[in-house]
Chain A
Amino acid sequence: MHVELRHITKTFGSVRANDALSLEFAEGRIYALLGENGAGKSTLMKILSGYQPPDSGTILIDGQVVTFQTPADALRCGIGMLHQDPLDVPNLTVLDNFMLGRREGLLPKRNAAREALAQQAGRLGFQLDPFRYVDSLTIGERQQLEIVRLLSLGARLLILDEPTTGISAEQKHALFSALKRLAAQEGMTIILVSHKLEDVAALCDEVYVLRGGKLVGHCQMPTPIEALVTLMFGQSLPRPTRSAHALGEEILRAEAVSLTARRLTVRDLSLSVRSGEVIGLAGLDGSGQSDFLRACAGLQALNSGRILLAGMPIHGKRYPELLRLGVAYAPSGRLEEGLVDGLTLTEHFALTAGNGMWINWRGAATLAAEQIARYNIRGAPHSPVQTLSGGNQQRALIALLPKNLRLLLLEDPTRGLDVESTAWVWQQLLARRDQGAAILFTSPDLDEIVTYSDRVLVFCEGKATLVTDLDDPSRNPVERLGELIGGKGFGGKDSWVAWRGGAAPR
């Protein structure tokens, strides 16, 4: 199936999200649609998949002009979209989700659907239990279900919106090999919407780059990552370098800690963190990294062992007390846990400022305006937080952190952010480190962990291994962490190199 977009234009208010975009997608090829937040990628893909009509411009499938009223129309023409947050029904079983939206009579053909599901999943190398509830699946498994479903409904062009956010390295490997097979053997067209350049390097044949709603580049892979970054941002971003800095006294100490994570129990974890140090917590999704962070913030109970903050056991202390002692915890669910949906920026600053009965509105508004300017948040003091983009929400979350911090506990601090926002966030965090704060953070992105950590704690199958000599020049640090994380679940360093597609090691 050959798909062509001609002069697609879409405006929201005064913003021209798509400005006369013309792109072509050929059969059997894997495309990347690159661009920073707000470049117009999502808008264009929503138009192609029938969620929004364009203001002007046409879509051609094999030379025929088509118009879509709904996403179901687009799927009938063979265009399927996999959303970043898979668009399924969590409170239904896998099989029910698979059947929902199929055109058939009053009574569903459950057995036939089950066979179709098993067959399609098997073909792609996915394992899906038809009777599990979707809310008990990982994001990666939910993506697999969506892909299987879209294919069974005849999708010939698959759009994947940031598919590697929130899935494990293992699942990413399975996803990428399935996609490659679909393109090579069955002539599927695949469009990867992403700002993760290493994913693009590992998977794609061709790249379209958008900036400010305009098409600014179309290149064949392999193209050097620096060239793509230049296209995305207009200039190449310097890579942060690891600078030597002085370490202070011990801030956090974990002694023989044992705690229960989602799938397993982490045992015998010991760690000592000094001020001015950055510790990365690596591991497959749900191996206990996030739980350890929560435990350090006093939000999760330990099975045994103890955690000391500057020599004082934190056992029995609640988060507000720890916050007063200089500990801050930022969860990865920005809108779910970190910010209050419906409150404005000013109200957020008022919430964090002081304990008095009355709100000093003028003070809060001034503080909000100051912080907005200082942290370059695109929004006004009266903007409700949910109207901000992901990057700006993250900036707001960092702006809300108290001034004198001794320990920062960050869960995936750059989730869903583009390269520029990620660099900005780390610039702020490292400034805190230079003021003497210690940082513990988790990230599914090993490059991020290697780039910013002084030491890395690797979580694998209930054990936590400390890696201290990241600077050892004889070995690629990402590869080494990969081996430790993979345990038996991963086929050693060769497969890491394979899925990384030979992307330039940092």
Chain B
Amino acid sequence: MDEVLVRTFADIVKVGAPIVLAAIGETITERSGVVNLSLDGSLVLSALAAFVAGISTDSVIIGILAGVSVGLAIALVVAVCSIELKLSQVAVGFVLTLLCRDLALFLGIPYRNAQVFPTTFLPIPVLKDIPVLGAIFFNQDLFTYLSFIAVIAAWWWLFRTKPGLTLRAVGERPQTAFARGVNVNALRYLYTAIGGGLVGLGGAAYTLGVLPTWSDTGVAGNGWIALAIVIFGGWYPLRVALGVYLVAGLRAIVTSVQAQVPPQVVELLNALPWLLMLLTLFIVSGPYLDRLLRVLPPRLHPLIRTVLRARPPSALGTIFEQEGRR
């Protein structure tokens, strides 16, 4: 395979890692029925925290811990407000995302483009020598590997384990889960926290891996992309990851042709991922799927229905209260 192409793919996987981490975190949170709309602000603030901690201790581990803690703390605020105080999850998330972003921009003034964090490049022996795939997947930094692990672990947990089944039930119909002996709100706390931690890790992946420095513009906005991709991916980890790489790939194409085309075209191309997502949503929901199925052989129908099954967790954003108890 063409060496330039391989390098592009490797780049896509690397650049996509923070968004993958954040989107997987959000997927887990939303699967439990909680919307953490603070994602974007959370990503920016944890990126700053990770950068500051990392640069002042020269340790990537401490940087990661700082980022994860900030993401986790913000998620806990969302959890307390929505589960304990029964506030609107959307309102709390929105306010938090604006607050965290502005807080990060303010606190980050002294660190603006100050330094570059030395990235940890970790090629995996043996595996990196696999032709093509080795160069794309196993010749990367720590955060890229963590993003792979997050995707696979989330998929395995959700669809192959008992607690994962319980998690899905909590997000779909908490009353049922409760009737079957599940402590719904405790699980929601847990998965909101885990999701927030992954968002924090995503933030750290920006300032300690991809960028790797602190700038006002590098991180903000990517949280919204992650949120959109969670929907696009139908709350399935593998599809979410695929969505991230698609967006990252389109961005890579835009970057590479930037010099040859007029700026208006660049802006148009930048909008392409969103148009594609809209198109996918059109196909997945509504009468279009049936029309698509009509022209395909019936043998494929169950497969296509399974692949395109994309429904939000039914209890997403709702409050669970046990009736009859005071």
Binding site for B on A (CB under 8 A): 46, 51-53, 70-73, 75, 87-92, 96, 99-108
Q: Which of B66-74, B83-91, B171-179, B187-195 contacts A (4 or more CB under 8 A)?
A: B171-179
CA distance A105 to B161 in the complex (A): 9
Contact of A71 among B166, B173, B179, B311 (CB under 8 A): B179
Closest Cβ–Cβ distance, residue B85 to chain A (whole Å):
21
A106 touches B178 (CB 8 A): no
Total inter-chain residue pairs, C-beta < 8 Å: 73
Closest Cβ–Cβ distance, residue A132 to chain B (whole Å):
10
B325 touches A106 (CB 8 A): no
B314 touches A71 (CB 8 A): no
A residues less than 8 Å from B325 (CB atoms):
52-53
A residues less than 8 Å from B179 (CB atoms):
51, 70-72, 87, 101
CA distance A46 to B179 in the complex (A): 11
A residues less than 8 Å from B172 (CB atoms):
89-92
B324 touches A100 (CB 8 A): no
Contacting A at CB under 8 A, from B277-326, are 311, 313-314, 323-325
Contacting A at CB under 8 A, from B204-238, are none
A residues less than 8 Å from B181 (CB atoms):
70-73, 75, 101, 103
B residues less than 8 Å from A100 (CB atoms):
165-166, 169, 176-177, 180
Which residue of the partner chain B has the closest CB to A104? B162
A105 touches B173 (CB 8 A): no
B residues less than 8 Å from A108 (CB atoms):
161-162, 165
B165 touches A96 (CB 8 A): yes
Closest Cβ–Cβ distance, residue A237 to chain B (whole Å):
32
B residues less than 8 Å from A107 (CB atoms):
160-162
Closest Cβ–Cβ distance, residue B310 to chain A (whole Å):
11
A residues less than 8 Å from B118 (CB atoms):
none
CA distance A70 to B181 in the complex (A): 7
Given A46-B324, A51-B323; A71-B178 close (CB under 8 Å): yes
The 9 closest A-B pairs by CB, nearest first: A101-B180, A72-B181, A52-B324, A71-B179, A89-B172, A89-B173, A87-B176, A108-B162, A89-B169
B residues less than 8 Å from A101 (CB atoms):
177, 179-182
Closest Cβ–Cβ distance, residue A59 to chain B (whole Å):
15
B residues less than 8 Å from A72 (CB atoms):
179-181
A residues less than 8 Å from B166 (CB atoms):
100
A92 touches B162 (CB 8 A): no
Closest Cβ–Cβ distance, residue B195 to chain A (whole Å):
20
A106 touches B176 (CB 8 A): no
B residues less than 8 Å from A90 (CB atoms):
172-173, 314
CA distance A498 to B177 in the complex (A): 38
Which residue of the partner chain A has the closest CB to B159? A96
22 contacts between A and B (CB under 8 A): A51-B324, A53-B324, A53-B325, A70-B181, A71-B179, A71-B181, A73-B181, A87-B175, A89-B168, A89-B173, A89-B177, A91-B314, A92-B169, A96-B165, A96-B168, A100-B177, A101-B180, A103-B181, A104-B162, A106-B161, A106-B163, A107-B162
Closest Cβ–Cβ distance, residue B171 to chain A (whole Å):
9
Which residue of the partner chain B has the closest CB to A101? B180
A residues less than 8 Å from B311 (CB atoms):
91
Which residue of the partner chain A has the closest CB to B182? A101
Closest Cβ–Cβ distance, residue A94 to chain B (whole Å):
13
Contact of A106 among B162, B175, B324 (CB under 8 A): B162
Closest Cβ–Cβ distance, residue A93 to chain B (whole Å):
10
A99 touches B323 (CB 8 A): no
Given A89-B169, A89-B176, 8 further pairs, Cβ under 8 A? A70-B181, A72-B179, A72-B180, A72-B181, A88-B176, A92-B169, A96-B165, A103-B181
Which residue of the partner chain A has the closest CB to B180? A101
Which residue of the partner chain B has the closest CB to A108? B162
CA distance A101 to B161 in the complex (A): 13
CA distance A355 to B154 in the complex (A): 52
B324 touches A105 (CB 8 A): no
Among A46, A53, A70, A75, max chain B CB count under 10 A is at A70
CA distance A354 to B162 in the complex (A): 55
Which residue of the partner chain A has the closest CB to B174? A89
B168 touches A92 (CB 8 A): yes
CA distance A46 to B175 in the complex (A): 13
Which residue of the partner chain B has the closest CB to A83? B179
Indicate with 1 or 0, residue by residue over B246-282, a CB within 8 angstroms of chain A CB atoms: 0000000000000000000000000000000000000
A residues less than 8 Å from B182 (CB atoms):
101
Closest Cβ–Cβ distance, residue B236 to chain A (whole Å):
13
